[in-house]
C-alpha cells in the first residue's frame, strides 16, 4: 500500500469559485452546495467535475467484543445483512439503486461461510478477537485489512468509478470504533461511546465500562494506526481506512458515511494528516462521538438526520446533491451572457 496523496488543486478551487459566481444567481446563493463544489474541484483537480459513476464499497466484519454483551443486535445480522444488501433490501441496497450507485459487499471478516458468489471474498479471519481480553487481531492482519480496502477501492476506480462511497456492516463495531477514536485522540471512552444499534441505558453503562476497561488494560501507541487497529479495531474498519487512502492517492472523491467511517478516517489521518481535505463528509451520525471525530478531521457534515444505520446509507443520501451540482454547472445561464454585473 503506497501512500502518496494527490495534491488538492487550489487553482481548480479558485476556478470553481469563479464559475459559481458567474452563474445566474446571487453570489453564494447556492450556499453549502458551493462549498461542496469547490471541495470536489480541489480533489478532482478540475472544474469539469465527474460525479456520475458511483460505487459504494460495503465492508463486512464481525467483532469478538460482542461476547461482552455490548450490542442490542445478534451477531448473525452481519452475515444476514451482507446478503440482504446484495438483494437490495437493506437501507443501502434500496438507496444505492435509487441514486444510481453500484454496490459491492466485501467480506473482510464475517463469522460465516458465504456460499453466495456475489459476496467478494477477502476474509482475513472469521471475526476479530474479543479486545477486552486479547488484541483484536495481529499486526499482520491489520495490514491485510488495510490492503483489502486499498485494493478494492483501486479496483473500483479502475472500473471507471469517479465517486466512491464507503460503508460497513458489523454488529458490535461501534464498540471498536469508539475504542479506536479514544485511543487515537487520547480521550476517555465516555467522550466517544454511544448507543450503537440502540442499546438501553443499562447496557450503555455496561458498554462504556467494558471499553474503558479494555483501554485501561492496554498500552496503545496513539501515533501508530496499525497498533490501534490491531489492538481494538475491526477488519471492516481497517479496510475502510485502506479505501480512503487509495481514493486520496487517486484524487477521487470518497464520501464518508457515519461513525464507523469516521473511525476509519481517523486511522487514515495518522498516515495522511490532511485527510479531511481529501474526503467528503455526508451526514452527522446520531452516535455520541461524532462531534469530536469530525472536529479532529476538520470536517463539517453536510446534513444531520440523526441516522444510525451505517452501511453507506447516509453517504448515498448525499448523491442527489452531486447530481444537483453537476446539472447546475452544466445547464445554468451565466451572468456574463445576461450582461449582469452586481452593484458594489
Ligand X SMILES: Cc1cc2nc[nH]c2cc1C
Q: What are the residues binding ligand NCN (CB under 6 A)?
A: 71-73, 168-175, 196-197, 257-260, 285, 287, 308-311
Q: Which is nearer to ligand NCN, 63 or 278 (CB)?
A: 63
**Of 100-108, 263-271, 307-315, 323-331, which segment contacts ligand X by CB under 6 A?**
307-315
Give just the sign of the alpha carbon dihedral 103, 106, 110, 116. positive
What minimum distance in Å lies between the beta carbon of 136 and ligand NCN? 14
Task: Kindly report the number of other CB atoms within 10 A of residue 36's CB atom.
Answer: 20
Alpha-carbon Rg of the chain, whole angstroms? 20
Q: Which is nearer to ligand X, 39 or 104 (CB)?
A: 104
User: 311 an active-site residue?
Assistant: yes
Residue 290, CB half-sphere, CA atoms under 13 Å: how many?
A: 23
DSSP 6: P
Q: Which is nearer to ligand X, 157 or 169 (CB)?
A: 169
For residues 99 and 226, give the distance between their C-alpha atoms in angstroms, rounded to a whole number.
Answer: 35
* 260 φ, ψ (degrees, to nearest 5): -65, -35
Q: Which does 259 bind (CB under 5 to 8 A by kind): ligand NCN, ligand X, none?
A: ligand NCN
What minimum distance in Å lies between the beta carbon of 172 and ligand NCN? 5
**Of 25-33, 52-60, 236-244, 306-314, which segment contacts ligand X by CB under 6 A?**
306-314
Q: Which does 13 bind (CB under 5 to 8 A by kind): ligand NCN, ligand X, none?
A: none
The mark string for 117-136 relative to ligand X (x by CB under 6 A, - otherwise) is: --------------------
C-alpha cell at 255: 464520501
70 binds ligand X (CB under 6 A): no
Across the beta sheet with 54-61, the strand order is 120-121, 101-109, 54-61, 163-169, 254-255, 279-280
Q: Which is nearer to ligand NCN, 260 or 297 (CB)?
A: 260
In the block, residue with C-alpha cell 486511522: 267
Q: Which is nearer to ligand X, 73 or 147 (CB)?
A: 73
What minimum distance in Å lies between the beta carbon of 266 and ligand NCN? 14
Rounded to 5°, the CA angle 144-121-71 comes to: 80
Kindly determine how many residues on this chain lie close enough to bind ligand X according to the rule CB under 6 A: 8
**Do residues 39 and 148 make contact, with C-beta atoms less than 8 angstroms apart?**
no
Rounded to 5°, the CA angle 79-165-128 comes to: 35
* 183 φ, ψ (degrees, to nearest 5): -70, -40
Burial 39-76 (b: 16+ CB within 10 A, else e): bbbbbbebbebebebbbbbbbbbbbbbbebebbeeebe
**Do residues 278 and 268 make contact, with C-beta atoms less than 8 angstroms apart?**
no
309 binds ligand X (CB under 6 A): yes
Task: Kindly report the number of other CB atoms within 10 A of residue 18's CB atom.
Answer: 10
* Burial of 164 (C-beta count, 10 Å sphere; 0-12/13-18/19+): buried
293 binds ligand X (CB under 6 A): no
Residue nearest ligand X (C-beta atom): 73
| Contacts of ligand X in 151-210 (CB under 6 A) | 169, 197
The correct pick among 53, 73, 129, 212 for binding ligand X (CB under 6 A) is 73
What minimum distance in Å lies between the beta carbon of 166 and ligand NCN? 11
77 binds ligand X (CB under 6 A): yes
Q: Which is nearer to ligand X, 44 or 257 (CB)?
A: 257
What minimum distance in Å lies between the beta carbon of 92 and ligand X? 8
Catalytic-labelled residue, pool 68, 311, 326, 330 = 311
Site for ligand X, rule CB under 6 A: 73, 77, 81, 169, 197, 309-311
- Where in the sequence numbering do the catalytic residues fall? 311
Amino acid at each position: 500500500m503506497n501512500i502518496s496523496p494527490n495534491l488538492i488543486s487550489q487553482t481548480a478551487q479558485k476556478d470553481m469559485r469563479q464559475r459559481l459566481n458567474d452563474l445566474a444567481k446571487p453570489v453564494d446563493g447556492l450556499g453549502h452546495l458551493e462549498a461542496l463544489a469547490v471541495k470536489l474541484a480541489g480533489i478532482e483537480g478540475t472544474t469539469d467535475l465527474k460525479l456520475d459513476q458511483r460505487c459504494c464499497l460495503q465492508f463486512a466484519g464481525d467483532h469478538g467484543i460482542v461476547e461482552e454483551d455490548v450490542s442490542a443486535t445478534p451477531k448473525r445480522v452481519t452475515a444476514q445483512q451482507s446478503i440482504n444488501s446484495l438483494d437490495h433490501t437493506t437501507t443501502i441496497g434500496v438507496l444505492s439503486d435509487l441514486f444510481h450507485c453500484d454496490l459491492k459487499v466485501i467480506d473482510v471478516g464475517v463469522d460465516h461461510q458465504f456460499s453466495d458468489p456475489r459476496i467478494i471474498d477477502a476474509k482475513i479471519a472469521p471475526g476479530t478477537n474479543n479486545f477486552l481480553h486479547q488484541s483484536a487481531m495481529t499486526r499482520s492482519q491489520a495490514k491485510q485489512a488495510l490492503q483489502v480496502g486499498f485494493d478494492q477501492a483501486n479496483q473500483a476506480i479502475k472500473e471507471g468509478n469517479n465517486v466512491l462511497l464507503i460503508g460497513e456492516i458489523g454488529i458490535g463495531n461501534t464498540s471498536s470504533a469508539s475504542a479506536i477514536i479514544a485511543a487515537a485522540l487520547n480521550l476517555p471512552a465516555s467522550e466517544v461511546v454511544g448507543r450503537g444499534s440502540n442499546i438501553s441505558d443499562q447496557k450503555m453503562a455496561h458498554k462504556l465500562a467494558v471499553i474503558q476497561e479494555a483501554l485501561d488494560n492496554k498500552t496503545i501507541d496513539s501515533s501508530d494506526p496499525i497498533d490501534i487497529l490491531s489492538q481494538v479495531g475491526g477488519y471492516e474498519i481497517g479496510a475502510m481506512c485502506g479505501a480512503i487512502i487509495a481514493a486520496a492517492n487517486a484524487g477521487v472523491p470518497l464520501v464518508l458515511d457515519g461513525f464507523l467511517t469516521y473511525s476509519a478516517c481517523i486511522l487514515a489521518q495518522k498516515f495522511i494528516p490532511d485527510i479531511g481535505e481529501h474526503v467528503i463528509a455526508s451526514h452527522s451520525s446520531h452516535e455520541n462521538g461524532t462531534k469530536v471525530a469530525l472536529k479532529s478531521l476538520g470536517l463539517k457534515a453536510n446534513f444531520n438526520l440523526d441516522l444510525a444505520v451505517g452501511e453507506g446509507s447516509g453517504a448515498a443520501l448525499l448523491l442527489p446533491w452531486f447530481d444537483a451540482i453537476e446539472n447546475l454547472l452544466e445547464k445554468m445561464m451565466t451572468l456574463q451572457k445576461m450582461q449582469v454585473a452586481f452593484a458594489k
